[in-house]
Amino acid sequence: MTPEAALAALRAHADAAKAADMAAYHKVPRAYLGVANPVIDDLARDWRQTLALDARLALAAGLWRTDIHEARIAAAKLLTQARIRPTDAEAWHLLAGWVPDFDGWAIADAVSIAGQKRLVADPARLDELADWTTSPHMWTRRATLVMTLPWAKMVHPKPADLEVRERVLGWAAGYVPERDWFMQKAVAWWLRDLSKRDPDRVRTFLAEHGDRMKPFARKEAARLMG
């Protein structure tokens, strides 16, 4: 499967009217095909199941280079799975290399969901994310929260997982002074998900930092706690 063949498969489902709506909605200057997410899901699943890892990595890299919205979403989905054998090092390297290109939430979240699975597979990669927390690129900083969401959702975290939670909460506290809506939303998202498992820890965070969060973010963080 070449990037050209994969792009042709995506174009077969293109919808010009939907593409125009997507361009207006996302407000990021790139090409849009107007392909529905379930279609991208189905195509990417088929490619994951039929292509060897080297071929998938090459296809994902090629699709990303097109800078077409749906192609970049598909590239991320090609690498979204719990286990990648025999090694996922190249997959992680590719995903991490895309982070500086983030310029909107949809593609950033698709890649970050793939990144979540690679971090869970090897939590030592969190040290790399620690470096991202000081990046001048807002989307890179935001990725440190979206990629680590699995630790906010863990039902029975082990001691090492609780250490990760505290590490990420430290990052989140550092982001609180940022006024960007997407950063405030990401902090609130992490806290909201954690509140389902550890509401007391979220209450403590809000008591310490909530007065510096934007009102919408503070409200969202506490929404599930009653």
pTM of the model: 0.95
32: three-class secondary structure by DSSP? coil
pLDDT of residue 106: 97
In tens digits, the chain (226 residues) has pLDDT values of 999 999 999 999 999 999 999 999 999 999 999 999 999 999 999 999 999 999 999 999 999 999 999 999 999 999 999 999 888 999 999 999 999 999 999 999 999 999 999 999 999 999 999 999 999 999 999 999 999 999 999 999 999 999 999 999 999 999 999 999 999 999 999 999 999 999 999 999 999 999 999 999 999 999 999 6
pLDDT of residue 159: 98
pLDDT of residue 85: 86
Residue 13 amino acid letter: H
Extents of the domains making up the chain: 1-122, 148-226
Q: Is residue 3 a contact partner of residue 13, using CB atoms and an 8 Å limit?
A: no
What is the tens place of the pLDDT at every residue in 77-115? 999 999 998 889 999 999 999 999 999 999 999 999 999
